[in-house]
Amino acid sequence: MLNRRQFLAMGVVAGGAVQAALPFTGIAKAGRKAPALVGSGASASVPPFSVRMPVPATLRPVAQLSSADVYQLALRPATVEIFPGLATPVLTYGGSYVGPTIRARAGRRVIVKYRNQLTMPANSHLHGGHVAPLHDGHPMDLIQPGQSRTMEYPNAQRAATLWYHDHTHMMEAEHVYRGLHGFYLIEDRTERELRLPGGQYDVPIMISEAHVLDDGSLFWDLPDGPNRTVLANGRPVPYFPVAARKYRLRLLNGTPSMHLHMHLEGGGRFTQIGSDGGLLPAPVPLSEVVLTSGERMDVVVDFSAYPVGSSVVLADAVRGPVLRFDVTRTADDASQVPAVLRPVPAQPPVVAERDLVLRIDPNTFQGLINDKTFDAERVDLRVKRGTSEIWRITNNDTNVGPPGGVHHNFHTHLSQFRVLDRDGGPPLPEETGLKDTVRIDPGKSVRIQISFEKFVGRYVYHCHILEHSAMGMMGTMEVTP
């Protein structure tokens, strides 16, 4: 019988594009029997487009100092309605299944006092944030039950769609699945002056997933389990009323491990304006939005192309409908999408090049980077503040898991980076801005340029398929003065 770790490992082997039908392929290959989903009752279901998609509330500061906004956020259990009529116990920041949105201004500090009211240790990592090590939410730096912790975010970075989520080592995937996630949006003047769609027409949308049983409980089974339902802002395949005008949609893949390949049914187009690190140099027209776990993409969709009374469905290539936009009214639209958005900032000189190879050991089920599994006591690489490096990250998992291999991505704490090339070819058009999470398909390599600006200390980098980082596909870098 597989233990839980092996079971999860093989589930995640199915972390790619066509995994939904293949969760046990790796186990079958290894000559083992797939375990029964012990304790699984009947799955709750709901016809698509039965419930309205909420927009997460904006968190209000408890104090506004001359140079900082102060917030309080409790990590606490809550009971919410995911499927209509069913009460589902979840883990939350602040009581809501997608935590409240923190809206920060570039150059103005945010201080968050987290209080852990859960029965287990947990923490909060600001994904994409340029922060000091003490405030990063390192996987071993946890807030014990009943304890509080004050985190400071300098916001000395450009406008971008970030998110905060739990990063408890070995528990991060389950904690994020159970609800420990929320948006963190940095705004700045440069972006405001572009007159992109704003206010109620700027909508953060977290795509996640849940397997809810008919008693309302949230079932944690193998990653990408076939009984999971796609959620948008915490509701199953909802609808969202829009006006016939341009909207900015901030799409975030908040699932622990699934890849999303989303399109607008009927051939609609997205105009991508931003990625993990904020605005692109120029808008990119896209027919498909591909997001791996942790990635964000800001797109503009012009609903004036659709008559009032019509609808357009955002759908995933594997899982089907995600969200339906119902065009219910007209509205004025003074927003624009300028042909030039924002150049990528200049980078310091490159002083080193490195290779990082990702793979899963099919015998031990350990996640490996350069043949080493995560050890919090070990520093895997040292970099110097004020410098820049080129890292080539390779996914070596072509011969394990389902046909085609295991999909990974790569996320660094502290610094956002540029994608230089993919196997010597140009980066994808959608990754021409700053990134902090980049997908790497089996057998492929990506070269990034990463710079170390202000902070010194230890940070992690890892595969953001959270099951893989839990299995040890994570390393430690130390930034030295």
Per-residue binding string, Cu ion, 212-251, x by CB under 5 A, is: ----------------------------------------
Closer to Cu ion by Cβ: residue 229 or 469: 469
Residue placing its CB nearer to Cu ion in the complex, 100 or 401: 401
Binding mask 421-460 for Cu ion (x = CB under 5 A): ----------------------------------------
- Cα dist from 345 to 28, 437, 451, 473, whole Å: 48, 18, 11, 30
395: alpha, beta or left? (left if phi > 0; alpha if psi -120 to 50): beta
Least distance to Cu ion from the beta carbon of 466, Å? 9
Can you give the C-alpha Rg of the chain in angstroms?
Answer: 21
Handedness of CA 351, 478, 258, 1 (dihedral sign): positive
Which is it for the CA torsion 35, 38, 41, 44, positive or negative?
negative
Q: Min. distance of Cβ 291 from Cu ion in angstroms?
A: 15
Among 180, 463, 466, 477, binds Cu ion (CB under 5 A): 463
**Cβ of residue 361: shortest distance to Cu ion, in angstroms?**
13
We find the least distance from the C-beta atom of residue 355 to Cu ion, in angstroms, to be 17
Asked whether 206 and 238 are in contact (CB, 8 A), the reply is: no
**Which lies closer to Cu ion via its Cβ, residue 112 or residue 440?**
440
Q: Is 465 in the site for Cu ion (CB under 5 A)?
A: yes
Which one of 389, 468, 470, 471 is in contact with Cu ion (CB under 5 A)? 468
Nearest residue (CB) to Cu ion, 56 versus 294: 294
Looking at the Cβ atoms of 396 and 476, the one nearer to Cu ion is 396
Residues in the interface with Cu ion (CB under 5 A) total 4
Instruction: Report in angstroms how near the CB of residue 24 gets to Cu ion at its nearest.
Output: 18
Distance of closest approach, residue 380 Cβ to Cu ion, in angstroms? 17
CA distances from 444 to 261, 397, 429, 441, 452 (A): 19, 9, 17, 5, 25
Stretch that binds Cu ion, among 161-169, 181-189, 452-460, 467-475 (CB under 5 A): 467-475
* Number of CB atoms found within 10 A of residue 426's CB: 11
Task: Specify the residue, 83 or 365, whose C-beta has the smaller distance to Cu ion.
Answer: 365
Q: How far is the CB of 414 from Cu ion (least distance, A)?
A: 20
Q: x-or-dash pattern for Cu ion, window 387-426, by CB under 5 A?
A: ---------------------x------------------
228 or 468: CB nearest Cu ion: 468
Based on CB atoms, which residue is closest to Cu ion, 115 or 444?
Answer: 444
On whether the CB atoms of residues 414 and 459 are closer than 8 A, the answer is yes
Rule CB under 5 A: which residues touch Cu ion? Answer: 408, 463, 465, 468
